Each structure stands twice: as C-alpha cells, then as structure tokens.
Copies of this chain bind each other. A is one copy, B any other.
Amino acid sequence: MNAPAPLPLRIEPLTRAAFAPFGEVIETAGATAFPINVGTTTRYHDLAQVELAGESPRTLVNIFEGKAWHAPIAIRMLERHPLGSQAFYPVDGGRMLIVVAPPGELDESQIRAFISAPDQGVNYARGTWHHPLLCLQHPGRFIVVDRGGEGHNCDEQVLKQPLSVLNLQ
C-alpha cells in the first residue's frame, strides 16, 4: 500500500502569540530592552527559555549550516528533544520554514507552519515537535543553542498523513 497523498499545509504569520504553544520567537520587536555599557549598547534581554533536563546537562552553542529548500516542500516526519530546548537564529538573514506540533503524544491535526523573517529566530521548547531545519531559497547559517549531556534527546516520528507546503508566500 502506498503512503497517502500529501495534504497542503497553510503558512501562518510568525508572531510571539501564535508561536507561544511551541516556544519563543527570538526578535527585538516587542522584547524587554534596556541600555547598557554607558548607553552605547541596547540589550534585548532574555529572549528564549533555555531548558536543560536530564543527567549532567550543559548549554551548547553551535552553528548549523542548512541547504536551500524550495517549494513544494514535503513534510514527512517531525522530531522532538525530550531533554532540552533548541534555539535557532539566522546569522546571514536566512528565512526558515517552521513546522511544529505541541509537546506530548503527536497529534497530526495540530501541526502548524510559519515562515520566519530575516531578523527572527525561534526557540523550540523542550518536547515541542518540529521539523529539522528548512532554510528557504538560499543556504543559510544559524546560531543554535541547545542541550548537551547524557541521555536520549531526540525522538523522530513519521507522519501517518504527509503534508506539503506548496507556496512559500
């Protein structure tokens, strides 16, 4: 038996409110901000809830370099990190297709999709289902802040009903 044909997945605007069930949008707009360094720097403060669970966890700072994806993009699986959050922020203006579902047992009817602006990142909360990096149109580099340490920290799940993003507008 073949897999079912993909269903189209609608793109929503990436806002703090819309993304709240999945983690945080990392952006200066709307952030807590204050001057530091005798007024020569503005600090946009504490933009992501970094979560570190499990045995001997520590914070990792990494750079991810993603290939360019073009429409249509098939969404066939999601993954989650049960022991920690994972934050992405572009360092060369890359835009991401972000596909997520709430933590807990995967409910495919709750899958949602967003596209980030060049000055937006996201932090996936611990356990949030998400598609691996989908960098749009051009290869892109991202600062990634996630968890290191002992223990199993990645679950992958193939979708019963694959989805497809047909239009990246």
Contact = CB atoms under 8 A, between A and B. Distances in A.
A92 B80 CA distance: 29
Interface string A21-58: 00000101001000011101111111110101000001
A84 to B, nearest CB: 10
B61 A40 contact: no
Copies of this chain per assembly: 2
Contacts of A36: 64, 132
A109 to B, nearest CB: 25
A63 B132 contact: no
A64 B42 contact: yes
Interface string A134-147: 00000001011100
A62 B133 CA distance: 21
Interface of A: 26, 28, 31, 36-38, 40-48, 50, 52, 58-67, 87, 89-93, 119, 123, 132-133, 141, 143-145, 148
**A-B pairs, 3 with minimum CB distance:** A37-B132, A50-B59, A48-B61
